[in-house]
Amino acid sequence: MKKLGILLSGRGSNFRAIFDAIQSGFIKNAKIEVVISNKADAQGLKFAKDNKLNAIFLNPKDFFSRSEYDRKLVEILKNYSVDLVCLAGFMRIVGEEVVNAFENKILNIHPSLLPSFPGLNAQRQALEYGVKITGCTVHFVDTKVDHGPIVLQAAVEVKEDDTVETLSNRILSYEHKIYPYAVKLFVEGKLRVLGRKVQILH
Ligand code: GRF
């Protein structure tokens, strides 16, 4: 049984997609062991509590520095014996302490086809740039933002009349497909990281 730790800051729809995929049996032999939020009022944290999961609000204001915060994150994740950390809309940069403690064991979802449009407001960046195709990316987390080895991507068409909202919603529906699938592959031991490349074993 692989134990998952989820880090989030808000809505938590990707967390719910992973939760649902476990409930439905799409992802087998995994359980969500702990959900941690840096925001007290995150909807995702409420969902975790409502579903009787271990749900922790870790307030950045209680810590002197980012690295102190990150050390606490690692401590909690280790205490829960987490095998895989899923960043699911966690709006904080995770530092070296976390990345080194969970090397190739942290996944993130980003709403663009990386390496295009890293950072905040990726959907707006894509619209303003005028690309015709964008998408979403699940990648392993390294010490650079939105940079680590790519696990899965989905391409999404940009339509002429798209707004940030309509485009974000279209991308989100693909996020909810590829993130659970990437988690499933990880849990089944089918991801092998070779430098920048992730090999999917069959
Ligand atoms: C998603 O668009 C994800 O790609 C990005 O943050 C957003 C989180 O949404 N990293 P949700 O909280 O999972 O609904």
**Each residue's pLDDT tens digit, 132-187:** 999 999 999 999 999 999 999 999 999 999 999 999 999 999 999 999 999 999 99
Residue located nearest, by CA, to atom 7 of ligand 1: 89
Query: Which amino acid type is present at position 55?
Result: A
Tokens of 59: 């307030």
DSSP state of 157: E
> Can 110 be counted among the known catalytic residues?
yes
Residue located nearest, by CA, to atom 8 of ligand 1: 89
Tokens of 31: 């359980």
Length of the chain: 202
Backbone angles phi, psi at 51, to 5 degrees: -100, 20
Which residues are CB-contacts of 199 (< 8 A; sequence separation ≥ 6)? 191, 192, 193
Q: Please give the pLDDT value at position 1.
A: 95
Say yes or no: CB of residue 148 within 6 Å of ligand 1.
Answer: no
For helices 13-23 and 43-50, the axis angle rounded to 10 degrees is 30
Say yes or no: CB of residue 18 within 6 Å of ligand 1.
Answer: no
Say yes or no: CB of residue 88 within 6 Å of ligand 1.
Answer: yes
- Residue 202 pLDDT more than 90? no
Say yes or no: CB of residue 109 within 6 Å of ligand 1.
Answer: yes
* Ligand 1, atom nearest to 44 Cα: 12
Q: Please give the pLDDT value at position 84.
A: 98
Residue located nearest, by CA, to atom 14 of ligand 1: 13
Q: State the average pLDDT over residues 69-75.
A: 98
